[in-house]
Amino acid sequence: MVLRRYLRKNEIMESLFNFTLEELQTTLSLSKNFVAKQVWNWLYCCGVKSFDEMTNISKQLRQKLVEQYSIKRPFILKDLTSIDGTRKWLVKLNDGEKIEIVYIPEEDRGTLCISTQAGCGMGCRFCSTGSQGLTRNLEVFEIVWEIILARDCLDEWKNISKGIGNGRKITNIVLMGMGEPLNNYDNVVKALKIINDENGMAFSNRRITLSTCGIAPKIYDLARDIKINLAISLHAATDEIRKKIMPIAESFSIDEIMKACSVYAKSTNYRRITFEYIMIKDINDSIAEAEKLVKLVKKYNVPAKFNLIPFNYWVGCTFKEPSDIKKIMRFAAYITNARYPCPIRLSKGGDIMAACGQLKTSTRDF
């Protein structure tokens, strides 16, 4: 099994975070569904760190769990807090690979930004993760780990019976960390089903957002498999400009992406799709581009909202941060006037390199 490659010799135990609830029941040969639910509850509602804490589970089953399965967490290499409250963890996986997880607290929500790959192979020219290249896909348990670990570190387990907005710290999950989620499709979808399960972590579809650079065929698969929020890293209104900043534009045109988006929107009962648009100085920030963006979403009749993200600079990148906030505001106003929401998202956690596009682990830890 692929997973075992990543485990050290004395750790040949499969993570229990690899299974859906149904799989847990069959894997553990449990004749009763409620026993699987009890184990699930200990894992995902109580956050136990040892099988001994599963006090309502028979000794026999606990023994089997201890001998064959693991519920250990990844090793935390760094735990940083920004002056604005953003928190970032650098964690080491079993094979030594590193990934980053970011928690962004805001007034009305707390967003956990998780990774789906170690590095990324898409090579977008504005993205620090892209400059690092792809090392490997994350396993299902490694994606689930990110939320478990954040809950451990935020002392969140005691809050999870409290409703959203009532003391819960992590209210939203966004797949906007390292990696291209649709290039690790099977593991990502399975992890989302675990995260989404109403008997466990219970993050509803509306509180999970998957962001993609636009792997068009996989958007159709997603429409079939799961109904989460979709965000497209568009960043340009024409293929010509897109090709200058994102190599993936050579494989999939904006037309193909928009067609897939209209099918996806239909599958979620016309929930709005978010189009992320990084404002890069003198590349894509003219008002003419805003006009083209509006025409584009109208042409394909996609229910849309935009997120304008001023480009975050990182050392080695040739692009420049926009210097004129008024220009960004005019761009946003044009789109808003066309009746598409268009907030300007000022990234948080810049002082700890946790802002959008700044995650990178290969050449330095922080």
Catalytic residues: 100, 356
Q: Where are the alpha helices (DSSP H) in the chain?
A: 21-27, 33-41, 59-68, 128-132, 140-153, 185-196, 216-225, 239-245, 254-267, 287-299, 325-337
- Is the torsion defined by CA of 25, 161, 49, 139 positive or negative? positive
Greatest alpha-carbon span in the chain: 68
DSSP annotation of 357: T
Does 357 contact ligand SAH by CB under 6 A? yes
Report the distance separating Cα 172 and Cα 41, nearest Å.
20
Residue 146 or 180: the one with the smaller Cβ distance to ligand SAH is 180
**Closest Cα to residue 276, out of 234, 327, 228?**
234
User: In this chain, which residue has its C-beta nearest to ligand SF4?
Assistant: 130
Contact 109, 172 (CB under 8 A): yes
Q: Write the interaction track for ligand SAH spanning residues 265-284; mark x where CB under 6 A is met and - where it is not.
A: -----------x-x------
Identify the three-state secondary structure at position 304. strand
Does 181 contact ligand SF4 by CB under 6 A? no
Candidates 97, 100, 146, 180; binder of ligand SF4 (CB under 6 A) is 180
Q: Which does 311 bind (CB under 5 to 8 A by kind): ligand SAH, ligand SF4, none?
A: ligand SAH
Q: Which does 222 bind (CB under 5 to 8 A by kind): ligand SF4, ligand SAH, none?
A: none
Give least dist CB 13 to ligand SF4, A: 31
Sole window of 63-71, 93-101, 120-128, 338-346 interacting with ligand SF4 (rule: CB under 6 A)? 120-128
Q: Which does 137 bind (CB under 5 to 8 A by kind): ligand SAH, ligand SF4, none?
A: none
Candidates 71, 112, 113, 122; binder of ligand SF4 (CB under 6 A) is 122
Candidates 94, 233, 268, 284; binder of ligand SAH (CB under 6 A) is 233
**Closest Cα to residue 204, out of 181, 173, 182, 180?**
173
Q: Which does 182 bind (CB under 5 to 8 A by kind): ligand SF4, ligand SAH, none?
A: none
Identify the three-state secondary structure at position 319. coil
* Terminal C-alpha separation, the chain: 33
Q: Write the interaction track for ligand SAH spanning residues 304-323; mark x where CB under 6 A is met and - where it is not.
A: -----x-xx-----------
Q: Which amino acid is at 176?
A: M
Give least dist CB 233 to ligand SAH, A: 4
Does 130 contact ligand SF4 by CB under 6 A? yes
Does 47 contact ligand SF4 by CB under 6 A? no
Contact 202, 242 (CB under 8 A): no
Does 194 contact ligand SAH by CB under 6 A? no
Candidates 15, 94, 111, 129; binder of ligand SF4 (CB under 6 A) is 129
Candidates 114, 213, 258, 279; binder of ligand SF4 (CB under 6 A) is 213
**Closest Cα to residue 93, out of 5, 179, 158?**
5
DSSP state letters, 208-233 = EEEEES--HHHHHHHHHH---EEEEE
Q: Write the interaction track for ligand SF4 spanning residues 219-238; mark x where CB under 6 A is met and - where it is not.
A: --------------x-----
Contact 35, 162 (CB under 8 A): no
Place of tokens 């990178």: 360
Does 223 contact ligand SAH by CB under 6 A? no
Give least dist CB 175 to ligand SF4, A: 10
Residue 190 or 218: the one with the smaller Cβ distance to ligand SAH is 218
| Angle of the 140-153 helix axis to the 185-196 helix axis, nearest 10 | 40
Identify the three-state secondary structure at position 275. strand
Residue 47 or 357: the one with the smaller Cβ distance to ligand SAH is 357
Task: By CB under 6 A, name the binding residues for ligand SAH.
Answer: 126-127, 176, 180, 211-213, 233, 276, 278, 309, 311-312, 356-357
